[in-house]
Amino acid sequence: MPNELLSISKNIRENEDMSKHTTFKAGGRARMFAEPESDEELAKIIKYCKENKLRYYIIGNGSDLLVSDKGYEGLILSTLKLKKIRLLEDNIVEAHAGTLMRRLALFLLENELTGFEFASGIPGTVGGAVFMNAGAYDGEMKDILLGVKVLEEDLSVNYLSAKELELSYRYSNVEEKNRVILSARIKLAKGEYAKIKEKMDDFDFRRRDKQPLDLPSAGSTFKRPEGHFAGKLISDAGLMGYSIGDAQVSDKHAGFVVNKGKASASEIFELICHIQKEVYDKFGVKLEREVKLLGEF
């Protein structure tokens, strides 16, 4: 471990098992793993990586990520220690990028702010949700997002409006602009505790009823193809319950690939590719992964 890195942060480890940091519970090891405790610490680690040509990758809760069994020959930066929430004026809330969506939802419930209920069960972080314009139950982050504080590629800090992120279905321009989300501001409305909780409970029940929340997964494996639903196409292709090793198309919701126990990242990836091929061969529809791949597959 380079002494210069250790002087920047005390929260850096070597040879970290990435199955502990993804909701798939699969994958190899990262050469180094860092958990900065401030935006400044995050920026200093990235600066070190850039100056020393060390590959790095930023994750939140790892809820939309599949890491190769061969691991990652670089440094993984986790934002999970960056989780402050601030209540501002006019029902505006600022949340650090590493804030878990569930934690933010409970904060908003306690403060009787409505408009975030759709996102209360999304198993990721605020940064990840903005990054991919996450959504559920006819709501998306772009509906409530005012703007974000970002670390630009040149390491300057900038505030961008939601419009500047060019948000659309499961897309923002953050990745192609090489930006890092530090925090986000959302605009909500004053509501009533009981009504907000009732809505959250309803969405929670619907998730538990229809989704395989008892097994490791990355949520919806594929984006919704135009004019179709991925889960229905996969089910109609006869793939519900289909397995490769311990990687399985959920027999509860075909849009989910789940880890039945000890699935490797290779098995999960092979199953994803098999689903794409079968659906295309049968229906001529190309399923696009929602899950991101890290490392060599």
Active-site residue list: 170, 220, 290
Number of helices (H), then strands (E), in the chain: 7, 18
Residue 62 is encoded by which pair of tokens?
């790892």
Q: What is the DSSP letter of 243?
A: E
Determine the Cα–Cα distance for residues 282 and 274; give it in Å rounded to an integer: 12
Alpha-carbon distance values, 204 to 103, 138, 265 (Å): 14, 15, 28
CB 220 within 8 A of CB 290: yes
Per-position DSSP letters for 39-55, written without gaps between them: HHHHHHHHHHHHHTT--
Determine the Cα–Cα distance for residues 246 and 252; give it in Å rounded to an integer: 16
SS3 of residue 170 by DSSP: coil
Burial label for 92, CB within 10 Å (0-12, 13-18, 19+), is: middle
Which phi and psi (to 5°) does residue 256 adopt?
Answer: -115, 130
Q: At what angle do helices 193-210 and 101-110 cross, to 10 degrees?
A: 150
